[in-house]
Amino acid sequence: MIRETNFQEVFIPEEFDEEQLMIKNTCEDFLDAEVRPNLDRIDQQEEGLMQQLLDKAGELGLLSVSIPEAFGGFGKNFNTSMLVTDAVGSGHSFAVALSAHTGIGTLPILYYGNEEQKIKYIPKLATGAYKAAYCLTEPNAGSDANSGRTSAKLNPEGTHYLLNGQKMWITNGGFADIFIVFAKIDDDKNLSAFIVERAFGGISMNPEEHKLGIKGSSTRQVFFNDCPVPIENMLSERENGFKIAVNILNIGRIKLGAAAIGSSRKVISQAINYANERVQFKLPISKFGAVRYKLAEMATRNFAVESAAYRAGQNIDDAYEALVTEGMDPSKAKLKSTEQFAIECAILKVWGSEMLDYIVDEGVQIYGGMGYSAEAPMERAYRDSRINRIFEGTNEVNRLLIVDMLLKRALKGELDLMGPAQAVAAELMAIPDFAEVEEMPFAYEKKTIANLKKAGLLIAGAAVQKLMMTLQKEQEILMNIADIIGAIYIAESTILRVEKLFHLRGEEQVKGQLDMARIYLQNTVDKVYLAGKEALNSFAEGDELNMMLVGLRRFTKVQPFNIKDARQRVAKQLIEANRYCF
C-alpha cells in the first residue's frame, strides 16, 4: 500500500522448477488414480477408506513435503507446500482430510514442540502412521476461540493434566490418533495447548455430522472426560495456546487460498469441456457470448488469486531465509516469517474462497440442468466449496483482521501508514497531475495501481482520523477498507506476474495473460470506487465529503478498454485448449 513493487521482486508460478512440478504431477496422478474414481465411496464415509487414502498419500511422501529431513520429510520450502495444497485442492473431502492432517494437525508440534515431542510424533505423522486432528472450536467459542471452556487440572500426583470439555466440528475426529487440544489450566486467562493421544482414554465422540458438503470428511464432536495427559505433553508454554492457534491459522488461511485455486482450476476445465460438448441451436454452447463471458471471467479470477498466492508464498520463504541467516532458530523463523505476512494470508483466504464460490456457481450455470444433477461433477463442487468461507475464521472475521493488523503495525511503528495517507490528503489540495504516462510496457497499469493505493490510503487515513477509537466498532467501514486493500493486492500481483512473463517470454506469448490482467484491473478500479464511496458516505459529510469524493474519483480513473473483446480473446484460448490453459 505504501510503496511500488518491482516485478523482479516477485515469484510467479511459471518459475517452479522441474522437481517441484514433479511433486505437483505426483499429487495430480494420485487424485486421478485413487480419489476421483472413489468420490461416492468417500462421501458415503466407507469404513477405513479415508485412512487408507492417507496411508497411500504418506507412502508417496505427500504428507511430509515440508517436514524436515531429520524427521523423515522432504524439507521443501513453504511455496512447494503451497503447490502441493493447490494440486490436491480439487480432491474434495480428501483434500480437507489431508490439509487438516498436514497443517493444523501436524504443524503445532513441528513449530512449537520440544525436541522430544518432535522425535516422538513427527516421523509417524509424516508417514501417516499417526493421523492428526485439531481441537479448538467449542459450542460457545467459535470466532472467539479464547473464550473456550475446556479445562485442564493437574492431578494430585502432579503427573498428568485431566482434560474436561467439549470440542466441535473436529475434522478427522473419527479416526485421528493425535489431537492438538486447547484448554485453560485452572483460572488462566489464556488457553494452553496439549498433544493428546486417543490411546490416553477419557475421549468419547458424537456420531459423524451430516453436512451440506465435504460429506466424506470425518467431522465429530469430541468430549474429554478426565482425559489424562502427561505433563510432558503440554505444547510450548502455559497460556501460549492462543498464540499457537493464531499463528497456525495464518498458515491454514493461505493454504486454503491455494486449495481454492486448484479446485477452481479443475472446475473451469470441466466447464470448458462441457461447453464444447453441449450442443444447442445446432452449435456448441461455447460459441455463445454469454457462456464465453463466464469462462473468461472464471479463468481471470483464478489467474489473479494464483498470482497473489505464490507471490506471498515466496515472500514467506524469503523472510524465513533472512531470519535464519540472522541466527534465529528455524522453527521460530517459520512462525515469524508467516506472521510477517499474516495480512496477505487473510486476503488470500477471503479472495480464494470467494473466487471458488463464484466459479463453482458459474460452473453449475454452464452445465444448466445437468449442473443440478448429482450425476454431474458440479453438484459436489458447488456444495463442497461453501465451507471455505467459514473455515479458518469466517471471511467477515478475516476482513476485520486485515485492517486491524495493518493499523496495529502502524501504531507499533513497524510501517508508516499515516505519513503516506497525509501526503495523499495534501495532494488533493494541489493541482492534479495531467502529465502523460510514459509509453512503456505496463506504465499505465502501474500508474493505475499507484492511484488505487492512493485511494485506499485516502479512505483509511480519513477513517482513522475521523473515527479514532470508535473505528474498531464500525465493522462495515472496516470491511470496505479491507475490500479495497485486498482487491489492490490481488490486482497488483496479477500485473506483476504478467509483467515478469512479458520480459521472460515476449508479448506474443502472453497475450491471454495480459488480457486477464487488464480485465481484473478494470474490475478492481470499479470495486475500489464503490467500496470507497460507501465508506466515505458513512463517516464524512459536507465539504469534507465532497472533497474526498472528488479525490476518490480522481484516483479511480481508468483508460477506456474494450473488456468484452478481451474476455472473448481469453475464452477463445480456453475453448481451443479445451481446458484451463494459463
User: Which amino acid is present at 476?
Assistant: E
* DSSP structure string for 434-481: -PPPPSSTTHHHHHHHHHHHHHHHHHHHHHHHHHGGGGGG-HHHHHHH
* DSSP structure string for 369-420: GGGGSTTSHHHHHHHHHGGGGTTTS-HHHHHHHHHHHHHHHHHTTSS--HHH
* DSSP structure string for 170-233: EETTTT-SEEEEEEEETT-SS-EEEEEEGGGS-EEEPPPPP-SS-TTS-EEEEEEEEEEEEGGG
CA distance 485 to 216: 36
CA distance 305 to 481: 19
Cα–Cα distance list, 464 to 20, 88, 404, 420, 496 (Å):
44, 42, 11, 13, 30
Strands 234-235 and 192-197: antiparallel
CA distance 145 to 182: 9
Contacts of 278 (CB under 8 A, 6+ apart): 284, 285, 368
Record the cell numbers describing residue 220, joined without a space.
Answer: 465429530
The answer to whether the Cα torsion of 226, 227, 232, 237 is positive or negative is: negative
CA distance 96 to 253: 13
Question: Which residues partner with 203 through β-bridges?
Answer: 224
The single residue of 297, 344, 379, 392 carrying the catalytic annotation is 392
CB 82 within 8 A of CB 89: no
Locus of grid cell 485421528:
176
Record the cell numbers describing residue 253, joined without a space.
Answer: 488461511
Question: Which residues partner with 140 through β-bridges?
Answer: none
Question: How large is the angle between the packed helices 241-277 and 289-325, nearest 10 degrees?
Answer: 150
Burial class of residue 394, CB neighbours in 10 A (0-12, 13-18, 19+): middle
Is residue 392 among the annotated active site residues? yes
| Positions marked catalytic | 392
